[in-house]
């Protein structure tokens, strides 16, 4: 087997536009594999479980930007609040408020993305646009100074129908533009459209993605 993390990374990097950031999704993969990707120049890594992230983070270089990409329970925010660089999967007001509270405790502003439900599979989490508009319009939201919403995130249906996937990404792109041109019109840092995984990132980039999250195409299959 000629599989090499470095080769995979180089191939992907050379095929994606410069304005698209790459999150290397290292869930279930050992520290050694993450270190190999780091040595090949990768700095942004994504994990989907708080416990796994807590175990890996102290054993790897300090200048890694850790992204939390999975479904999160509010009571676990405290464990990653001191170091997390971006939380992608934010999908309730309760979670937004808890992240703000932990940001305050740690004397920092925590960057978040709002996760939208774009697939029709019931297993995928996320907001509907009406819910987000209600939150953003609330007085309580305006008092939260220790979070910053920097964009949106979503996952397409896990199907082989490219046209279906393309439509779902296109829907998310429209939501992103709507928010960017209204609530966040004066916030330059609202510039992240996180969509696209190993199987569908090319479609996502065509639909306007600015951040892709790739696991298996970098590190190999997960078992
Ligand atoms: C696992 C995961 C990925 C990466 O999946 P691959 O198909 O291995 O690229 C991306 N985003 C989220 C939210 C994930 O949980």
Q: Say which range, 119-123, 194-198, 207-211, has the weakest mean pLDDT.
A: 119-123
Q: Is the CB of 198 under 6 A from ligand 1?
A: yes
DSSP the chain: ----HHHHHHHHHHHS-TT-EEEEE-TT--HHHHHHHHHTT--EEEES-HHHHHHHGGGS-TT-EEEE-S---GGGHHHHTTT-SEEEEE--HHHHHHHHHHHHHTTSPEEEEEEE--SS-TTS--B-HHHHHHHHHSHHHHT--SEEEEEEEE---SSS-HHHHHHHHHHHHHHHHHHHHTTTTT-TT--EEE---TTTHHHHHHTT-SEEEESHHHH----
Share of the chain above pLDDT 90, in %: 94
pLDDT digits (tens, 9 = 90+) for 81-105: 999 999 999 999 999 999 999 999 9
Pocket test of ligand 1: the residue of 29, 215, 217, 218 to mutate, having most ligand atoms within 8 Å of its CB, is 215
Tell me the pLDDT tens digit for each residue of 22-67. Answer: 999 999 999 999 999 999 999 999 999 999 999 999 999 999 999 9
- pTM of structure: 0.96
For the chain, what is the mean pLDDT? Answer: 96
Distance 29 CA to ligand 1 centre (A): 12
Confidence at residue 223, expressed as pLDDT on a 0 to 100 scale: 83
Q: Between 58 and 119, where is the model more confident?
A: 58
CA–centroid distance, residue 13 to ligand 1 (Å): 17
Q: Is the CB of 220 under 6 A from ligand 1?
A: no
What CATH architecture does domain 5-219 belong to?
Alpha-Beta Barrel (3.20)
∠212-153-77 over CA atoms, to 5°?
105
Distance 145 CA to ligand 1 centre (A): 30
Domain boundaries, given as residue ranges, for the chain: 5-219
pLDDT (mean) for 95-121: 95
Q: Report whether residue 215 contacts ligand 1, using a CB cutoff of 6 Å.
A: yes
Q: Which of 29, 48, 114, 117 is the best mutation target for the ligand 1 pocket, counting ligand atoms within 8 Å of the beta carbon and taking the most?
A: 48
Q: Is 69 in the pocket of ligand 1 (CB under 6 A)?
A: yes
Residue 2 has pLDDT above 50, yes or no: no
Arithmetic mean of pLDDT, 57-80: 97
């Amino acid at each position: 087997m000629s599989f090499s993390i470095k080769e995979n990374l180089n191939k992907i990097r050379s095929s994606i536009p410069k304005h698209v950031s790459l999150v290397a999704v290292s869930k279930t993969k050992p520290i050694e594999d993450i270190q190999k990707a780091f040595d090949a120049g990768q700095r942004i890594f994504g994990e989907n479980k708080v416990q796994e992230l807590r175990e890996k983070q102290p054993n790897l270089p300090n200048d890694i930007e850790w992204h939390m990409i999975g479904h999160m329970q509010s009571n676990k925010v405290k464990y990653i609040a001191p170091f997390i660089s971006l939380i992608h999967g934010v999908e309730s007001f309760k979670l937004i408020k808890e992240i703000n509270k932990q940001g305050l405790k740690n004397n920092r502003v925590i960057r978040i993305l709002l996760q939208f439900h774009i697939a029709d599979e019931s297993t995928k989490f996320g907001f509907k646009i009406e819910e987000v508009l209600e939150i953003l319009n609330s007085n309580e939201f305006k008092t939260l100074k220790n979070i910053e919403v920097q964009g949106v995130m979503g996952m397409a249906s896990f199907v082989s129908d490219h046209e279906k996937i393309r439509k779902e990404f296109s829907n998310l792109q429209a939501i992103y533009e709507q928010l960017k041109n209204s609530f966040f019109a004066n916030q330059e840092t609202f510039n992240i459209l996180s969509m696209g995984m190993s199987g569908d990132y090319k479609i996502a980039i065509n639909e306007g993605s600015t951040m892709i999250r790739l696991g298996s195409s970098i590190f190999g299959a997960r078992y």
